[in-house]
Chains A and B, each alone.
Chain A
Amino acid sequence: MSHEHEHDHGGSHLSEVELRVRALESVLLQKGYIDPAAIDVLIEAYETKIGPRNGAKVVAKAWVDQAFRRKLLSEPAQTLASLGFAGLQGEHTTIVENTPKLHNMVVCTLCSCYPWPLLGLPPVWYKSGPYRSRAVIDPRGVLRDFGVELPDDTEIRVWDSTAEVRYLDLPARRGGARRSSLPSSPGTA
C-alpha cells in the first residue's frame, strides 16, 4: 500500500479524500445513522488513551516481578484485564516470550491485526506491504531494517495473526531496567 500521506497545509485547500470523508460524514449525520459523541469517544480513545505505553508497562512489570510474569504467560486474558488492558482487539491475547535462543515476531499478513489495548493502533510499517510480505519469509532481513542483527543460531518464530487471537512479544530483559525506575502500579497512569 502507498505510504504517502495527505498533510494538512492549514489553508482552504482540501484534498479529494478529505472532501469525500467530510461529505460521507455529513450524509451519515443527516440520515441519523451516527452519533457524533460516539465518534469522538472512539477517536479520543486511540489518540490519547490507548497506546504502546500500556504494553510497555506490562513488559516492565513482567521483567521485575516473576510471579506476575508467570501469571501473564499462563493466564494472559485475566492478568491483562486486571490491569485494565482488555477491550477491542485485545479480547484473546497471548503473550509470547523471547529467550536468548528464540526471537518472536508478530505479523498480520492478511490485514493489520494488532493488540490494540496494549500497543494502540498499528503503525504504518506494520500495515505496509514490505512488513506483511517479508515477515514470514525473510524475518531476519526485516529485523535488519530495524537495525537488529540476530546470530544465525537464534531461532525465529513468526506468529501470523490470522484469526482473533492477538500476540504480544515479551522481550528479554537487557540490563538497563531497574525496579526503582518502573511504575509501581502499571495500568493506573
Chain B
Amino acid sequence: MPNGTLKRILDVGCGKNKFPGAVGLDRNPATDADLLSDLNRVPYPFRDSSFDEIRAVHVVEHVEDVIRFMEEMHRLLRPSGRLYLVTPHYTDSGSYRDPTHRWHLNSFSFYYFTEPRDYGFYSPVRFREHRIEIRLLKLWRWLGLEWLVNRSRAFRKFWEHYLCYLVRGKEIHFWLDAIKPDTWVGQGLACPEDRRRAPAGNT
C-alpha cells in the first residue's frame, strides 16, 4: 500500500459494529450498513479489485455457499489485498448457539484456497496464507495451550486431530492475501476518484 493513499476497507456483514472507516455491507437495515445487499447473491455491488482489505467477521458461517463467497472476496480484493476472516471453531459452543450458522469450521477449512494440492479443483481462486490464529477457551489460554497451538502449525494440526474436543477452541482468525495478476489493479475501481488514488505504476 503506497503512502498517501486512503486504504479502502470493506466490512462484509458488518452488523452493528462496523469497522471504523470501512464501507459496511449487510442485508439487514437495522445494522450500520452503508449498502444493503443479500450476501448470498453474488456479485456484490462493487467492481473488481475495489478494496485493499476486506473484513468478514463472523460471516462465512452464515453464507449459503462458502466457495462462492471466497471467490467473491477474491474478486473484490486488489492483488495482494488482505482478507481478514473470523469464524467460530467447530468445537466452540458459539458455533451451535446461533440458529443461522450453516457451517462449522476448523483452522484448515480454507486450505484448498491456499494449498490447492488435493482439493484445488474446487475453485480456481487462490489466497496466500499470511497468518492463522486460534483462540481457545479462557481456561486453556491461562494454561498456555493457546500459545502452543499458535506457535507451530504441526502442533495446531495435532490439536485439531487429537485434542480439540477436550481442549476446546473458540474462534479462528485467518489473514489471507489474494493472489491475482497485478494487471487487474485500476481496471475496476468503484468510482473515478478511486482511479485517481490508485497507486501509479501498477496498472
Is chain B a partner of chain A in the same complex?
no
